[in-house]
Amino acid sequence: MEWKEKICVEPQYSGARIEGDVITLDFVKKMMDDFKNQKCLHKRYAFQIVLQTRDLLRALPSLVDINIPDGKHFTVCGDVHGQYYDLLNIFELNGLPSEDNPYLFNGDFVDRGSFSIEVILTLFAFKCMSPSAIYLARGNHESKSMNKIYGFEGEVKSKLSEIFVELFAEVFCCLPLAHVINEKVFVVHGGLFSVDGVKLSDIRAIDRFCEPPEEGLMCEVLWSDPQPQPGRGPSKRGVGLSFGGDVTKKFLQENNLDLVVRSHEVKDEGYEIEHDGKLITVFSAPNYCDQMGNKGAFIRFEAPDMKPNIVTFAAVPHPDVKPMAYANNFLRLFS
């Protein structure tokens, strides 16, 4: 008996339903609307979305090449951190993901914000509906240890069930670590490396199907931050490193690239351009944790010139559920 037959949908369930195996736009829109009204998706359909996404992601390389045809555009978003109502606002401003309006979400979909389930199921459902409409990269928060502390695990147990904790952990290990757009723009959640000479082929060769290690290329991709001074230094986070403009320039030259786009850090304007214009940080969670007062941003690229066009936006209201509502209680004492 297949798992689908095992999970029965009660007659009184009035939410979105997937008919058969195909996740349609109509279903995704209905689900998003249900989420907006603080309704839950039935576990059966959540299970279906997560398993389908796992199969799609597992087949991808650790570094994914994206090709944007001339005259077409592509949007890169940074951290969303469970801020579902701000995600809906991004789609209002810039359109839903589709073949003609593709997106890359650059990690940290979950944790901190208390609508992480709504965010992750929406992004995953779009991935299932149309794999080339949305690309997803791993962030440092797509990991068991972070999810335990910063709220996602608690939210999964509360809104779905214990079994989904392991399932999401498994799918997060399938997320690619980096993307290259039109052989020119390198997109990664954290940043660059503690050693010179890293080639795109080295990133492609990373065995990513694991929890992030404490050191090495995979760790640095997820955790590093730029610094204004040249060279490399210790990270203020205690993991990864800080890297200067000379490191960025050299990496781009050696790999015949033009630009690094990364996320991972809250910025007042939603973005920051550093390293002589060669590195852009983009962060898409406005008024982060309901207290930072920052704007959010996303970047639109148009082929063939691939110049970054940055759009900023303010936070929108959300239901009265505090950030970190599902977080580890021990941590809440300090937040």
Q: Among this protein's residues, is 318 annotated catalytic?
A: no
Task: For residues 186-210, give the mean pLDDT.
Answer: 98
User: Which DSSP category does 289 fall into?
Assistant: G
Q: Which one of 42, 81, 141, 264 is the catalytic residue?
A: 141
With respect to residue 146, please indicate whether it lies within any of the assigned structural domains. yes
With respect to residue 40, please indicate whether it lies within any of the assigned structural domains. yes
Residues 6+ apart with CB under 8 A from 254: 197, 199
With respect to residue 190, please indicate whether it lies within any of the assigned structural domains. no
Phi/psi class of residue 277: alpha, beta or left (left: φ > 0; alpha: ψ in -120 to 50)? left
Task: For residues 106-128, give the mean pLDDT.
Answer: 98
With respect to residue 244, please indicate whether it lies within any of the assigned structural domains. no
Q: Identify the helix (H) or strand (E) that includes residue 172.
A: helix 162-172
CATH of the domain at 286: 3.60.21.10
At residue 8, what is the residue type? C
Tally the domains of the chain: 1
With respect to residue 154, please indicate whether it lies within any of the assigned structural domains. yes
Q: What is the pLDDT of residues 16-71, one digit of tens each?
A: 999 999 999 999 999 999 999 999 999 999 999 999 999 999 999 999 999 999 99
| Helix/strand number for the chain, H first, E second | 12, 14
> What domain range includes position 80?
21-185+266-318
Task: For residues 177-193, give the mean pLDDT.
Answer: 98
Whether this prediction's pTM lies above 0.95 is answered by yes
Q: Identify the helix (H) or strand (E) that includes residue 88.
A: helix 84-94
Instruction: Place 335 in a pLDDT band, splitting at 50, 70 and 90.
Output: very low
With respect to residue 110, please indicate whether it lies within any of the assigned structural domains. yes
Q: Write down the pLDDT at residue 6.
A: 77
